């Protein structure tokens, strides 16, 4: 399967490069497209090398390489989509070739700039979830996928902290991917979290594991954040269950999750009282049927970014039964955060960076 994916991916890249080269040679009246073949091929090699080689770099040079490559990846995606879009328009409205080229560049630059601005604009999402046997309303701020790293450091964390404090939470939960790369893996980038006076609960994500999960958990524990590792804790009469990043069950494969254990096995090993209200924290929205089997009221996750950028969001809608927002499986609700950060290109088109306020309210039977 990985080999097939690589072959398909490389084939798509070759077709895209040939298409772009021929179109730009036409737009700007170059008789031969060889120069564009070279430009687009070199750009493709640059962005793939930059992202794959320097994703976990600790050097400033490597970080700059990664940052530029990520921006280029996003821009090239929208350059390709702009060419396709304008070519369709040109079937109806005949436009001079030079003007088509200018329109393509203007469109791709505009969408890319919008994507960056949108990605760094943090919005509030608020939902209410009635829960049986809950004694009092509990305000939960749900943070996910902050991706502190190449594009985000302590200034970004401060923005998230300010937004969180303004929502006056009783508790805060972080469902993984707090970090993204070693470049900003520093205790000082988490100091602002101490400004939040409510208890904070954390479960790991796949990018935390890539970055250095032992170090991350040590930093968090040193500032009083509660790290949950396949265990349960209570806040008032609410059970908070926190799992490591696991696959759904023994029969599923997940390249991002631990394959030595599963959600099904972890929940079977935890003493959950089905008569008490409960929330489950897990990075990816997998294995909800096992949460339901144990009487979990609300499953909180992230991971998907809701696809982050168009048209990837259309693909993740097909990949994940629960891609974003609030859903229900039997009597268990699941909320999937779009995340407050980004991965790869620091862009969001068709999605939003969100801090989520969840109001758990006593359910009237």
Quick one: CATH architecture of 123-362?
4-Layer Sandwich (3.60)
pTM over 0.95: no
Q: How confident is the model at residue 257 (pLDDT cuts 50, 70, 90)?
A: low
What are the beta bridge partners of residue 122? 353
Secondary structure (3-state) at 111: helix
First to last CA, the chain: 49
Q: pLDDT at residue 3 above 80?
A: no
Q: What is the pLDDT of residue 259?
A: 62
Evaluate if residue 21 carries a pLDDT over 60: yes
H helical segments located in the chain: 2-27, 34-53, 60-92, 97-119, 154-166, 206-211, 213-222, 263-268, 288-293, 312-319
Helix, strand counts (H, E) of the chain: 10, 16
**What pLDDT is attached to residue 160?**
98
Query: What does the block give as tokens for 97?
Result: 């070739």
Pick the closest to residue 277 from 184, 360, 186, 365 (CA basis): 360
Q: Rounded mean pLDDT of the chain?
A: 92
Sole residue written with tokens 């929208």: 78
Question: How far does Cα 103 stand from its chain's mean position?
Answer: 31
3-state helix, strand, coil in the chain (%, to 5): 45, 20, 35
User: Pairing state of beta strands 138-143 and 353-362?
Assistant: antiparallel
Would you kindly state where each structural domain of the chain is located, as residue ranges? 2-119, 123-362
Average of per-residue pLDDT across 11-26: 88
Question: Tell me, what's the pLDDT at 142?
Answer: 98
Give the percent of the chain with pLDDT over 70: 96
Cα separation of 52 and 44, whole Å? Answer: 12
Nearest residue to 289 (alpha-carbon basis) of 244, 241, 330? 330
Place of tokens 């927002």: 325
Say if residue 31's pLDDT is above 70. no
Give the model confidence (pLDDT) of 193-244 as tens digits: 999 999 999 999 999 999 999 999 999 999 999 999 999 999 999 999 999 9
- Coil, helix or strand for 56? coil
Decide if pLDDT at 54 tops 90. Answer: yes
What does the pLDDT average to over 169-196?
96
């Amino acid at each position: 399967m990985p080999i097939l994916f690589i072959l398909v991916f490389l084939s798509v890249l070759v077709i895209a490069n040939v298409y772009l080269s021929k179109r730009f040679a036409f737009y700007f009246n170059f008789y031969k497209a060889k120069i564009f073949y070279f430009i687009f091929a070199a750009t493709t090699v640059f962005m793939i090398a930059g992202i794959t080689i320097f994703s976990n770099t600790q050097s400033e040079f490597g970080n700059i390489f990664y940052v530029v490559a990520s921006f280029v990846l996003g821009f090239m995606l929208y350059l390709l989509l702009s060419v396709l879009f304008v070519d369709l328009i040109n079937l109806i409205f005949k436009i001079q070739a030079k003007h088509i080229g200018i329109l393509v560049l203007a469109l791709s630059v505009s969408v890319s700039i919008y994507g960056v601005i949108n990605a760094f604009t943090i919005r509030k999402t608020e939902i209410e979830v009635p829960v049986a046997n809950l004694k009092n309303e509990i305000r939960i701020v749900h943070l996910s996928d902050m991706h502190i790293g190449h594009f985000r450091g302590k200034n970004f964390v401060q923005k998230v902290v300010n937004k969180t404090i303004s929502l006056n939470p009783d508790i805060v939960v972080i469902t993984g991917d707090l970090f993204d790369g070693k470049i900003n893996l520093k205790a000082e980038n988490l100091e602002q979290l101490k400004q939040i006076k409510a208890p904070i609960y954390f479960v790991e994500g796949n990018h935390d594991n890539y970055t250095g999960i032992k170090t991350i958990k040590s930093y968090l524990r040193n500032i009083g954040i509660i790290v949950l590792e396949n265990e349960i804790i209570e806040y008032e009469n609410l059970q908070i269950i926190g799992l490591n990043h696991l696959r759904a069950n023994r029969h599923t494969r997940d390249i991002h999750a631990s394959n030595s254990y599963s959600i099904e096995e972890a929940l079977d090993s935890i003493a959950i009282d089905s008569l008490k209200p409960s929330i489950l924290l897990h990075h990816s929205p997998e294995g909800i049927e096992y949460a339901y089997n144990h009487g979990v009221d609300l499953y909180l996750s992230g991971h998907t970014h809701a696809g982050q950028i168009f048209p990837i969001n259309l693909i993740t809608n097909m990949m994940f039964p629960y891609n974003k927002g609030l859903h229900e499986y039997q009597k268990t609700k699941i909320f999937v955060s779009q995340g407050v950060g980004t991965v790869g290109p620091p862009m969001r088109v068709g999605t939003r960076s969100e801090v989520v306020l969840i109001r758990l309210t006593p359910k009237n039977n």
